[in-house]
Structure 1
Amino acid sequence: MRDNDDLAVDIKGDCFSGKKILFGITGGIAASESIKLIRELRRFQPNITIIMTKSAQKIITPLAVSWAGDCEIITDWEHQMSGLSNYDGILVSPCTRNFLSKLVSGVIDSPLMMAIAAAEYNNIPVMIVPSMHQSLADNEKTQHLCNQIEGRYSKILWGEKTENKYKQPNSIEIVANFANHVNSYLKNRKNIVVTLGSTTTMIDDIRYVKNTSSGETGYEIASRLFRWGHDVTIVAGETNHKPEFNIPLEIKCPNPEEMLKELIALSKCSIDVWIHAAAVLDYIHNEPIIGKIASGSDNITFSLTKYKKHLIELEKIVKKSFRVAFKLESNITLKQLISKSSSFVVKNNLDAVIANRLEDLNQTDKNRAHLILRNGDHFAIPNLKELSNAIRQLIDNN
């Protein structure tokens, strides 16, 4: 495809690369959002087939959908019976109450219904995104239909309720959840905890000490792992970066003490991988002042006490898990950074560390980080996307 082609999309990832994906559109008004959704799907490189029901064609034209998908659209029965192909995943969005009823009843009156019936037999993961008025969605029969559909290799993704309607989630959220559903059936999927953001310690009820971390790196790593089908839990401190979509389970822990307690609790949940991307304070204020320190004084004096190292505390109870930590240094040579990081891996019984220098972080001509493995191998990582992909490959290969 030419770079200036009007049909082109910017590639964001490869979680659908090599996969055959069927996208079905039914006759809800949210079918008008299909253009954005299809183009978001294509940003992750699937081999895409699109089927529209006759009702959907009354909402949006096959020509517009064909432009979005850069492919021919199946609008009626055809001799190839494309719906019977061995797809890696099927996404239906939007999905009407009428379509849900037909699906449960086993009605096959369209190519899309045939495709889903075949998918159930072939154990192909299906995700359905309903969009309907609240009076229909909350109806007992609708809930009964959804309960029957879920669990048969099918996932139902509801959007938020606004204006008395359950509207379709945005395209980024739909595609991310669909990728997670499809890829969760790959071998060797892991239960992963990612810590991210900064932590604080209170001086009084108003003032606090905080280190610097936006959470962007952790969110990028967690998002990629989620799209690749892993079960991801985020434990977040303070953040000011807004991720593209929300991972279902994010636990807020603004200070080092709360974060450590939460991590110890999670250690009882058979966690396979720990990624420590949070900037955890090394020192805390043990006795914060109740209320507000008067502002009339020229100086305020308080003491910070060295706090427990999360890596050391957890090492005692997660010995069989795969562990990746981050290490930030400054005013040292690259050779010294690699050497210190290699020692850091051994000392904390880690499998890998992501190391960088403070002075390199905003330099576009510098590598974003360096990946140092337990066996001594190390690799330069040019940017954040390559960093998250390197961690994903490291986890998949271990």
Structure 2
Amino acid sequence: MHSSKHIIGSKNNELSGKKICLCITGSVAAVRSVELARELMRRGAEVFCVMSEAASRLIGPDLMHWATGNPVVCGLTGECEHISLCGEVPEKVDAVLIAPCTANTIGKIACGIDDTSVTTVASTALGSKIPIIVVPAMHASIYANPFVAENIGRLKKNGIIVVEPHISDGKAKLPETGEIVDECVRATRTHDLEGAKVLVTAGATREFIDDIRFISNPGTGRMGIAIAREAWLRGADVTVVAGHVEIPIPRYLNAVYVESVHEMFNEVKKRAPEVDIVVLSASAGDFVVEKRFGGKACSERKICLELTPAPKISNEIKKWNPKAKLILFKAESGVGDAELLHIAKKKMEECAADLIVANDVKREGAGFGSETNEVLLIQKDGRTEKMRALKTEIAKKAIEYVLVGLHGFAVGR
């Protein structure tokens, strides 16, 4: 085995057993190809690289051979490389990623022209119904060309996934590497939530005392974003209503930002009647400031704050949408498993939830901001599972429990 392949699966197994054909065209963004290939591999994929002649003038094929551990295709030969990669053969790849993709290559694919190694691979993959992900990279003025936009529209119409570039400095640039790889993960996953609309709350709300100071909590949004991402990977249309979050929300998730618990309440109320699944994972405040000071309150004298209970979003979901599947998250502090289970079940009954995920934030590796958590997953019928894992793995488990409950439940009404 090539020494470069030792990194395969070192980060996670999201792409374990998957083969990805990474096609590189003649954009200067090709300098990010090594980073992209290695991230695909770290998530478990075997990567095979195909380069256009223009791309091979920007970065050497030997570099990509080293990066992937596999020979690089720079031109088609009697070996019929396009067929072995993307033809109707048992060992064909699971997805084709064209990144960066120039306007020239976009136009050729849109018109069925396959006169380069990359366009012939794309043509073959389309015929074999292999998912294709295209990531444009070019000057912004070229990207704004109406003919280029029309060609991109034709790609989308024919089922090709187009990842929108990041526009800055007059350039249409490749998005973050993680976002591109997430698109590959989604393209190779089973879409068991296809057509479902999912609403997720995430992050911490803030209740301002004056124009500067506020009451909040240490919620980071990590768990909510993980579960929103998992639902998206499974094909769902996901909206995140987010308070303060400390990690970026991926562009592929529809994000609505709020500040106070009242704002979060109103945004969820507006959207809940139209969704199939509601996940309340935000650290929404339990109290609101009765009377907010104007300007900045003087710090040299004692002040008295009156706090009143905040409205409970969880108590209203089934009133707004009785058919929605409801996942709750319940955080406690300094309690044992028996008490945590008792508190969670009581909350579950009050809200008619379908699943509740409960945790004690005092436990090591299970508090706010941690990448891991220790939780009790409690189903509607009382079955309970204790789990200590990465929050991404807990997100998968929570979605899987809800999928079981979706038997006979029509999504995408």
Query: When the two structures are superposed, what TM-score results if normalisation uses the length of structure 2?
Result: 0.86
Contact 2:50 2:118 (8 Å CA) reproduced: yes
After superposition, the Cα gap between the structure-2 partners of 1:14 and 1:317, relative to the gap in structure 1 and judged at 3 Å, is farther
Q: Within 5 Å, give how 1:53-64 maps onto structure 2.
A: 53-64=52-63
Residue aligning to 1:309: 312
Moved more, 109-118 or 60-69: 109-118
Moved more, 155-164 or 257-266: 155-164
After superposition, the Cα gap between the structure-2 partners of 1:226 and 1:11, relative to the gap in structure 1 and judged at 3 Å, is farther
Q: In structure 1, how many angstroms separate the alpha carbons of the residues matched to 2:8 and 2:310?
A: 48
Q: In structure 2, how many angstroms separate the alpha carbons of the residues matched to 1:303 and 1:179?
A: 49
Q: In structure 2, how many angstroms separate the alpha carbons of the residues matched to 1:225 and 1:176?
A: 12
Residue aligning to 1:393: 400
SS of equivalent residue, structure 1 residue 150? helix
Contact 2:21 2:50 (8 Å CA) reproduced: yes
Contact 2:200 2:281 (8 Å CA) reproduced: yes
Residue aligning to 1:226: 232
Residue 263 of structure 2 corresponds to residue 264 of structure 1? no
Contact 1:161 1:167 (8 Å CA) reproduced: yes
RMSD: 2.6
* Runs (5+) with no aligned partner, structure 1: none
Q: In structure 2, how many angstroms separate the alpha carbons of the residues matched to 1:258 and 1:117?
A: 49
Deviation at 1:289, TM superposition (A): 2.7
SS of equivalent residue, structure 1 residue 174? helix
Residue 346 (structure 1) aligned to one of 346, 349, 358: 349
Q: Within 5 Å, give how 1:169-318 maps onto structure 2.
A: 169-183=175-189, 186-189=191-194, 190-239=196-245, 241-243=246-248, 245-269=250-274, 271-297=275-301, 299-318=302-321
Q: In structure 2, how many angstroms separate the alpha carbons of the residues matched to 1:261 and 1:392?
A: 25
Residue 77 of structure 2 corresponds to residue 74 of structure 1? no
Q: In structure 2, how many angstroms separate the alpha carbons of the residues matched to 1:276 and 1:146?
A: 36
Contact 1:179 1:229 (8 Å CA) reproduced: no
After superposition, the Cα gap between the structure-2 partners of 1:226 and 1:251, relative to the gap in structure 1 and judged at 3 Å, is same
After superposition, the Cα gap between the structure-2 partners of 1:370 and 1:349, relative to the gap in structure 1 and judged at 3 Å, is same
SS of equivalent residue, structure 1 residue 153? coil
Residue aligning to 1:321: 324
Residue 128 of structure 2 corresponds to residue 125 of structure 1? no
Residue aligning to 2:45: 46
Deviations 1:330-388 (A, max 9, x none): 23221121222223222211111111113214479x96222111122222221223322
Contact 2:357 2:377 (8 Å CA) reproduced: yes
Query: When the two structures are superposed, what TM-score results if normalisation uses the length of structure 1?
Result: 0.89
Deviation at 1:262, TM superposition (A): 0.5
Deviation at 1:325, TM superposition (A): 0.9
Contact 2:326 2:353 (8 Å CA) reproduced: yes
Deviations 1:220-248 (A, max 9, x none): 22233333433221111122x22484444
Contact 1:327 1:355 (8 Å CA) reproduced: yes
- For these two proteins, the number of residue pairs brought into alignment is 392
Contact 2:332 2:340 (8 Å CA) reproduced: yes
Q: In structure 1, how many angstroms separate the alpha carbons of the residues matched to 2:187 and 2:366?
A: 37
Contact 2:4 2:67 (8 Å CA) reproduced: no
* Runs (5+) with no aligned partner, structure 2: 407-413
Deviations 1:56-81 (A, max 9, x none): 22222222212222323222224342
- Structure 1 counterpart of 2:278, one-letter code: W
After superposition, the Cα gap between the structure-2 partners of 1:378 and 1:276, relative to the gap in structure 1 and judged at 3 Å, is same
- Structure 1 counterpart of 2:145, one-letter code: N
Residue aligning to 2:410: none
Contact 2:219 2:282 (8 Å CA) reproduced: yes
Deviations 1:134-192 (A, max 9, x none): 23222222222222222211122232223322122221121123333454x73433322
SS of equivalent residue, structure 1 residue 214? coil
Residue 342 of structure 2 corresponds to residue 332 of structure 1? no
Deviations 1:179-220 (A, max 9, x none): 33454x734333222211111222222322212212222222
- Structure 1 counterpart of 2:140, one-letter code: Q
Q: In structure 1, how many angstroms separate the alpha carbons of the residues matched to 2:325 and 2:42?
A: 30
- Percent of pairs with identical residues: 26
